[in-house]
Structure 1
Amino acid sequence: MSDTAGGKQAGRKSGTRRRQVAALPWRADPVAGLQVLLVSSRETRRWVIPKGWPMKGKLDHQAAAQEAYEEAGLDGRIVDTPVGDYPYLKRLKSGAARPVTVDVYPMEVTGEHATWPEKGQRTLRWMSPVEAALAVQEPELRDLIARFAQVELPAEERPAPTLAPTPVRVAFDRLRRRVTALWGRR
């Protein structure tokens, strides 16, 4: 594990698929055993791991650690090579979807900040590896978490993933929240 060495900076694009980097935050709790931290996405509120675009001047694993701080207030030791990757569709502000591949770097959490840049915008939850794997939407991320934690997910406990909300649903939900906020102010 490394905080500063190794990793890759090049290869942000692979064909037409863009690449993001993510931290897989974990800790070994004396009572609960291995735990994985998931964060909610800001728009759809689904469970994800902290992720973002590669950053100029940072190696990919360093950018993943930065995302873990910004989205969840975490410090830790991050591995400088990815444990795997997974694909997903990134919803753009325009409503279009772009295919993205996410490189995942395990991060042993050594500290949690009381405040961080996106505090209040996301929900954080420590979960067992099985709970975390079953909570995420992307099947490949589900399998990656299970492989990392060396746990088996029985076929009957692997429900089909639910589809992400459509751009129309996201826009409608935003509009509903705004109308509700304005209505409540009168």
Structure 2
Amino acid sequence: MSIEIANESGVAVDELALVSVSRFALGELGINPLAELSVLLMDVDAMTELHVKWMDEPGPTDVMSFPMDELDTARRPDDAGPGPALLGDVVLCPAVAREQAREAGHSLDDELHLLTVHGILHLLGYDHVEPAEEKAMFRLQNDLLDQWREHRATTAARARLEAVDRAVLGAVGLQAGEPHPVGEQNRS
């Protein structure tokens, strides 16, 4: 899956985490691994311009989505699911997200992860105009974020344990899977 990040916001963000949460969400939603997504981070002035131009609403917003392709286009009749696609752009404004994060009592990173998943869901046709749509979209958004955080924590814990194993084994000159020489010495 190709996920490109362009940070033109002037705010330092964890771009690898944005790629990770995007890739995870798209994978969980069954999007073709050859699909392409662009995540743009913009400053307040640029986001305000987009918001006015495309939504006819004043001021900046936190996230906007600009879909590129319909997911069901360019498929052969015998294909089981949607083919690769240019999904589109998720545009984030970290300055607006920072204020929202402060009000919500969590970090800017957490807010940007949430907004990224939110934007992806919009690209895929989810909306929150009607109360039932809002409930379904926000439940899915929260489920995806919870699953990604759990996956990320498990992966990090596994990496820490593997690093400890490598350090311990390296200290005694062993490679993983080799028998320990102490056990062999005791047999003599």
TM (norm. structure 2) is 0.25
Structure with the higher strand share, 1 or 2: 1
> Which is higher, the Rg of structure 1 or of structure 2?
2
Q: Name the structure, 1 or 2, with higher relative contact order (CA <8 Å, separation 6+).
A: 1
TM (norm. structure 1) is 0.25
